[in-house]
Amino acid sequence: MSTNPEQAADALRVVAEKQSRVINLATVPVWYWSYVGALMVVLAVGVDSHKPVTIGITVSIFVVGILAGTARIVSGVARTARLHKDLLGPRGVLGIIAFIAAIDVPTIGVAAGLRAAHVHHPATIACAVAGTALAIGGPLLMRFLRRTMLASRVGS
């Protein structure tokens, strides 16, 4: 039994469509970035209060919120999709590291500068800036990673 070129092309198209669906499922949704940014601000408000009870409450909100939001995303992906370990490749990994550095380094600098200038609530202000950067940059990162994974899939 031989496969003609048309059948082979159809089979490859089906595989590519399934790979695209898996990649789309693995992409972090837009809402998550603003959600994490808001949780960061909640945590920073607690830190800036310098009150142990308030810090404890806001740390708890942050941890439970991050775990719940992340679990929601991961459970959906784990039920329906399994990504190949090489799909992101070095370019995707470097993109993630660069994104984290682009958020964290300025945030720490802003917080330190505001604290040195004796501005009230330096952590809250810095995390508000970082949260905004996450809300804007997170979806951009996901588009980059999606393109990277689509380019790395079998048959591309």
- Return the pLDDT at 78: 61
* 117, part of any domain: yes
* 4, part of any domain: no
Task: Name all contacts of 141-146 with Cβ < 8 Å and 24+ positions apart.
Answer: 141/95, 141/96, 141/99, 142/27, 142/28, 142/30, 144/92, 144/95, 145/27, 145/88, 145/92, 145/95, 145/96, 146/23, 146/24, 146/27
Low-confidence ranges of the chain (pLDDT < 70): 1-2, 76-85, 154-156
**Number of domains observed in the structure of the chain:** 1
What domain range is 139 assigned to? 27-152
**pTM for the whole structure:** 0.78
- Return the pLDDT at 14: 82
* 12, part of any domain: no
